[in-house]
Amino acid sequence: MAPTAVSSLSRLRAAAGVLLDTGCVLAFVVIGRARHGEAASAAGLARTAWPFLAGLAAGLLATRGWRRPTAIIPAVVGAWLGTVGIGMALRVVSGQGTAAAFIFVALAFLGLFMLGWRVVARAMASIRATSQPG
């Protein structure tokens, strides 16, 4: 592959990784708000999501998770623990709740989904690599 094609593919993978992690966070927020009977307004969703999205960004930046978006270490660890750890800290600072059960649910849900999409992506890449002639 030409260097520009590799570079474009790397950027595409990095963007897809960030979008998939963002989707995991937004799914967590939407499901959580619905489960607690909170309105699905854009303002409510934004108020709940911003600490976790900021945590996700910080975790990915700290681990440079965009370089190898499907890697378990550091990408999933940075995305997952940054989202939950920094997200919960920002919720405290902004006056939102952080009950112990909520922290455990966030760890479980986000860990499962952030790890899950990476496992699927790696499996698909492995299948493609073994099915190619040659």
Average pLDDT of span 89-111: 95
Is pLDDT of 6 > 70? no
Q: Which domain holds residue 67?
A: 3-131
pLDDT in tens, 26-59: 999 999 999 988 777 899 999 999 999 999 999 9
Is pLDDT of 23 > 60? yes
**Residues 25, 45: Cα–Cα separation, whole Å:** 11
Q: What pLDDT was estimated at residue 32?
A: 93
Q: What pLDDT was estimated at residue 104?
A: 97
Average pLDDT, the chain: 91
**Residues 65, 8: Cα–Cα separation, whole Å:** 17
Is pLDDT of 97 > 80? yes
124 band by pLDDT with thresholds 50, 70 and 90:
very high
Name the residue among 44, 51, 39, 45 with its Cα closest to residue 98: 51
Burial class (CB in 10 A: 0-12, 13-18, 19+), 124: exposed
| Count of domains forming the chain | 1
Q: Is the pTM of this model over 0.85?
A: yes
Is pLDDT of 3 > 80? no
134 band by pLDDT with thresholds 50, 70 and 90:
low
